[in-house]
Amino acid sequence: MSQPVSAIKKNDSVIVLTGRDAGKRGRVLRVVPDKGRVIVEGVNFIKRHTRPNPQRNIKGGIVEREASVNSSNVQLVCPECGARTRIGRRRLDDGRSVRYCVKCKGVVDK
Ligand SMILES: [Zn+2]
């Protein structure tokens, strides 16, 4: 069974549905399509311990950064109606394929 391609794109505003950060909103910083994962600003922070490496001028310490989350655990926040929503696709008169909000039918891609 193949996983459907996530309709979430970079710079989308999304809300987290499950896990430690459930209910948080953020902007999508990066999409990892092969793995079906996304990195969302301010969501799923992990601490990474880094060893100092003087030869490469790397200081040791703890770095906090976002880790990816499964894209099925986030949902788009519609820029038109503000609701969290599923995404549909439709073709415009000019032939462009755009994403739309299934709730208000507003076009997500401008
Ligand atoms: Zn909408």
Distance 15 CA to ligand 1 centre (A): 14
Closest CA to 84 of 26, 39, 30, 32: 26
Distance 80 CA to ligand 1 centre (A): 5
Closest CA to 74 of 35, 25, 30: 25
pLDDT tens column, 4-48: 445 899 999 999 999 999 999 999 999 998 999 999 999 999 998
Distance 46 CA to ligand 1 centre (A): 32
Q: Calculate the CA 107 to chain-centre distance.
A: 18
Distance 110 CA to ligand 1 centre (A): 13
Distance 34 CA to ligand 1 centre (A): 27
Distance 86 CA to ligand 1 centre (A): 9
Closest CA to 108 of 99, 8, 3: 99
> Which residue carries 């200081």 as its tokens?
59
Closest CA to 27 of 74, 89, 64: 74
Counting every residue written for the chain, the total comes to 110
pTM of the model: 0.82
pLDDT tens column, 90-104: 999 999 999 999 999
Closest CA to 5 of 28, 31, 44: 31
